[in-house]
Chain A
Amino acid sequence: MAAALGFWLNLGLGCVNPKTGGKTILRVATWGGAGDDSEFVKTVRRLRQEFEKQNPGVEVREEGIPGPGEYVKKLLQSFVAGTEPDIITLDASSAAVFIDNDVLLDLAPLIAADSEFNLNDFYENVVDIARRGSRLYAIPGDFTPIVMYYNKRMFDDAGVPYPKAGWTFEDFANAAKRLTKPGQFGFKFVNWMPGWITWMWNEGGDVLSPNGDRAAGFLDSERCQRAAEFLRSLVSVWKVAPSLSQSAAAGVDLFANGQAAMEVSGHWAMIGYKNSPKGPDGRPLLRIEDVGVAPLPSNIGKSVTVMYEAGFAIGKNCKHRELAWKYIKFMTSHRVQSEYNATGIAVCARKDVSQERAADERERMFLALIPTARAPWGAKVEGYETVERAGETAMNAIITGSKSAADALAEAARKIDKDFSRR
């Protein structure tokens, strides 16, 4: 029996191993999670199959790593293990950690050698996120500025004018107050630092020093405290936004369910809006034509926002370099990007596709916001994960009232600086 077992083991470990099986497998890391059968999931699946059909003997395996903070951690682990995917979807907000640890392939030689590929098709400031000198580590796929979404029907019902460029925190708070009524919040707040950092910027503060090496004197500055205080007031004083526990209790997306009038998010939220659940009358709780897009309110005259981008990068030790490059070209091609972005995921980094889609009023607003959008800190600072974790911990304390904004932010700044000093 022992011999039989050994034989079976060998057989099993050798052949059943899903990594082999005769086909060339192209592993693509994304931050998608388990899907439902939404239009987006179907489109992605169809595009993948199309690539497989064009390249017989190739199987594309999309490997989703969902969850805040999980993506970077798990991918770095796979680089440590030497079992990383071939293609990494590179999020601007964590580009630095991959680039600085030297795990990605420089794509510049591939671009130079390829006459079919033209980098000028893409928005330059989006391309630059993954550029270090003459080296380029990712081809941008799509991107999105963080915007203010609003529900036009709710604004109309409450007789509140739609938000427009130049509005301040106070304008925003007043609108939110008038839009709040039983069963409806003026604003949906989530403790998600990539979203709320813009409030600090629009109050004239920032979380790190200009060269990104320390938080003390910045995250705990008076301006950042004021922004945090403002967010706390929305939830706890004016009660125009659900408390963190109210959001959790609902267990659904309040904006997409027609229970909140405004939300700060990126373009990807449109996927959820398009799939808004149906109410008892059989109609969607949020009609897509009711969704408006506005710049973020600002107290410093000029509204700023942050731009999150998804690019395609290749692992430094990738064994199927040509194939991977072929896949990137396929994914960033005009036709594929047109179909992909039609799902609502983001704004295409290709100028031609974005211009074509600008017929839509919402898309125009996204394009108009590009010049006001900064690259996220994580594109430049390697240990930015720490900052987001500490920031969200502090915000939780501030919102629930367990600590003052001054104390919580000072503590977070100390924690961040200590962590930076360890590197």
Chain B
Amino acid sequence: MKLFRALGSYLLLSALAAFLAAPFVWMLLVSLHPSKAPIPTIERVVPTRFEEGHKVFDPHFENYKTVLFDSGLPVPIFLLNTVFVTACTVCLVLLFTSMAAYGLTRLRFAGRETFFRMFWLSMMFVGPVLQIPVYLIVRSLGWLDSYYALIVPGASSAFCVFLLRQFFIQIPFDIDEAARLDGASEFRIYWKLILPLAKPALATVAAFTFIATWTDFFWPLLATNSLYMRTLEVGLSVFKNSYGGNNWPMQMAATVIVMVPVLAVFLYAQRYFVRGIILGSTK
């Protein structure tokens, strides 16, 4: 009975996994068809050619080369922009939100609870309301179409402050009380004691911020105008409108190129994601 149940579970899970993975497999296969090839039917989705009457596997990896270097778009620049912006954002978020969380949990000062309430409330302001004023504020700072516009508005996050606060509260208070009695400065306690203990939570924040920044579309779309300031996500969105929508192998190759880095990070850091989501739900 138990065995049957397990077997059934595996079957169901495999079917679901196939459902989730099939689009990606399909995408990879289509990206290897020759440029401008008609849309293959399911029997022909594996790119093949005939050689002496035999079907042989015939992948067109040159599509990737075309997308990266011969598309007329500075794809390597898109990639560099994305890496730079993401790296800066992750560092700043880690620094600012952990400092805030330290202040909110370890230090006493007037209005602390009010501050926390404000962070908490701001998580409820939804994107559509903020997009216009934030754009105009960034414009009046003269930052549009620069790295400042891409980095600074994302440099802190109420969600991450909240997440880290939840974690910091669970770190025993006698650790820093002891250090304080020994005369350690607050910065030293924060930097040398609390941060090392909070590593898993920080990794979670880093992983989240990385994915959110790397895959952000709306803000970079609005905040940048020149081609050389575009991020990968926005830059490659033009592939959809290119080729009159008629060159699927090339579009799929571009799609794979956007997806691979972020998937790699996810697979590397997946356990932190899981932890982060659970922390975020205050479990």
Contact = CB atoms under 8 A, between A and B. Distances in A.
Interface of A: 2, 5, 9, 12-13, 16-19, 27, 32-37, 41, 44-45, 61-68, 70, 74, 77-78, 80-85, 249-253, 257, 272, 275, 277
Interface in B80-110: 81, 84, 88, 91-92, 95
Nearest to B30: A251
Interface stretch (B159-167, B178-186, B243-251, B263-271): B243-251
B147 A77 contact: no
B247 A67 contact: no
Contact of B247 (A12, A36, A62, A83): A36
A181 B134 CA distance: 57
Contacts, number: 118
A34 B84 contact: no
Contacts of A250: 38-39
Contacts of B81: 18
Contacts of B28: none
A278 to B, nearest CB: 9
Given A2-B95, A34-B254, A66 B238 contact: yes
A67 B145 contact: no
Interface centre among A5, A18, A19 (most CB of B within 10 A): A18
A308 B5 CA distance: 67
A37 B88 CA distance: 35
Interface in B58-100: 66-67, 70-73, 77, 81, 84, 88, 91-92, 95
A68 B226 CA distance: 19
A379 to B, nearest CB: 23
Given A5-B95, A32-B72, A61-B227, A67 B238 contact: yes
Given A33-B241, A34-B239, A83 B72 contact: no
A62 B72 contact: yes
Given A36-B70, A83-B145, A251 B243 contact: no
Nearest to B72: A35
Nearest to A250: B38
A34 B77 contact: no
B122 to A, nearest CB: 24
Contacts of B158: none
A283 to B, nearest CB: 15
B222 interface: yes
A34 B238 contact: yes
Contact of B225 (A2, A16, A66, A84): A84
20 contacts: A5-B91, A12-B84, A18-B81, A32-B72, A33-B238, A34-B242, A37-B70, A41-B72, A61-B226, A63-B227, A64-B238, A67-B238, A67-B240, A70-B241, A78-B225, A83-B144, A249-B39, A250-B38, A252-B39, A252-B246
B275 interface: no
Across the A-B interface, give the 4 residue pairs with the lowest CB-CB distance, nearest first.
A33-B242, A67-B241, A78-B225, A83-B145
Nearest to A85: B226
Nearest to B139: A81
A34 B95 contact: no
B119 interface: no
Contact of A277 (B37, B226, B238, B248): B37
A91 to B, nearest CB: 15
A65 B36 CA distance: 21
B35 interface: yes
Contact of A81 (B91, B225, B228): B225
A27 B151 CA distance: 24
Interface string B136-178: 0001000011111001000000000000000000000000000
A85 B247 CA distance: 28
